[in-house]
């Protein structure tokens, strides 16, 4: 299982050096970064993680940047750090924008570790199960691999459909949901079919057949599997 990602997004100064040492002593692998943009790009690639982010690195457009990050990576906990003198109103606004905590710079390393463990008690079960759950960007389709369950919210959160999919269709849908909105190459879909059926002789035309079946089961609602000429298929909602 991949390790849980930790980031320390800050200049390489104190107290961050002491904090990094303390976290490493816990056996946690910490990625230290000096730029917010690098962290945001990495955070967008994972399902869950935890970051200590030095406040000034967010820049003047801090709150919208944070909101954008959290909408792309809701299970990445972002703990802002800064001086105790920051007005409480401002801290609350950053909480509203998506920050998950505020850690004063004067926090001793031992207390920081205790606080992070409190966050991890809640976050790690999510991390363990997060990779089992995917959903479309609009939240209309939700798929849970561990339960082999698909839910489609058709109308503004009211009607919930649970189409019965074969293992092959389920695998195809999961593959499309891993890159929502983007075209997934036919070769990638074919490989997922071969994994689902354990049949190395599956022919390329079988992808189209199963996509048609999947389209029928997903219905005529807001979710569409569109053919992308020369590439493969894309799932859009």
Interface residues with another protein (CB under 8 A)?
Answer: 77, 88-89, 91-92, 95-96, 100-101, 108, 110-111, 114-115, 117-119, 121-122
Min dist. Cβ of residue 1 to another protein (A): 22
- DSSP code at position 7: E
Residue 207: CB minimum distance to another protein, A: 35
The CA distance from 204 to 47, in Å, is 31
The nearest distance, CB 213 to another protein, in angstroms, is 33
**Closest C-alpha among 134, 214, 215 to residue 177:** 134
Q: Specify which residues 149 forms β-bridges with.
A: 144
Q: Shortest distance, CB of residue 220 to another protein, whole angstroms?
A: 31
Cβ distance to another protein smaller for residue 75 or 234? 75
DSSP 44: T
**Residue number with CB closer to another protein (92 or 182):** 92
CA-CA-CA-CA dihedral for 161, 68, 13, 5, to nearest 10: 20
E strand map for 109-148: 133-135, 141-144
44: nearest Cα among 63, 68, 25, 60: 68
Strands laid side by side in the 149-153 sheet: 133-135, 141-144, 149-153, 160-161
Nearer to another protein, 41 or 111 (CB): 111
Q: Which CB sits closer to another protein, 100 or 237?
A: 100
| Between 117 and 203, CB nearer to another protein | 117
Residue 100 CB, nearest distance to another protein (Å)? 6
């Amino acid at each position: 299982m991949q390790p849980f990602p930790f980031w320390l997004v800050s200049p390489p100064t104190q107290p961050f050096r002491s904090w990094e040492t303390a976290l490493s002593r816990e056996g946690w692998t910490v990625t230290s970064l000096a730029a917010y943009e690098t962290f945001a790009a990495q955070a967008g690639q994972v399902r869950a993680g935890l970051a200590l982010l030095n406040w000034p690195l967010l820049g003047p457009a801090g709150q919208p940047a944070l909101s954008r990050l959290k909408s792309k990576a809701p299970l990445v906990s972002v703990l802002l750090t800064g001086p105790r003198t920051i007005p409480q109103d401002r801290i609350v606004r950053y909480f509203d924008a998506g920050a998950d905590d505020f850690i004063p710079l004067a926090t001793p390393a031992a207390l920081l570790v205790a606080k992070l463990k409190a966050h991890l008690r809640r976050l790690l079960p999510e991390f363990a199960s997060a990779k089992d759950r995917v959903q479309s960007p609009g939240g209309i389709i939700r798929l849970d691999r561990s339960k082999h369950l698909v839910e489609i919210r058709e109308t503004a959160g009211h009607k919930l459909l649970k189409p019965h999919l074969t293992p092959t269709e389920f695998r195809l849908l999961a593959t499309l949901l891993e890159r929502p909105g983007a075209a997934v190459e036919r070769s990638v879909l074919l490989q997922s079919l071969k994994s689902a059926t354990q049949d190395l002789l599956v022919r390329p035309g079988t992808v189209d057949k199963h996509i048609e079946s999947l389209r029928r089961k997903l219905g005529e609602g807001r979710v569409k599997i569109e053919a992308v000429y020369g590439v493969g298929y894309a799932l859009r909602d």
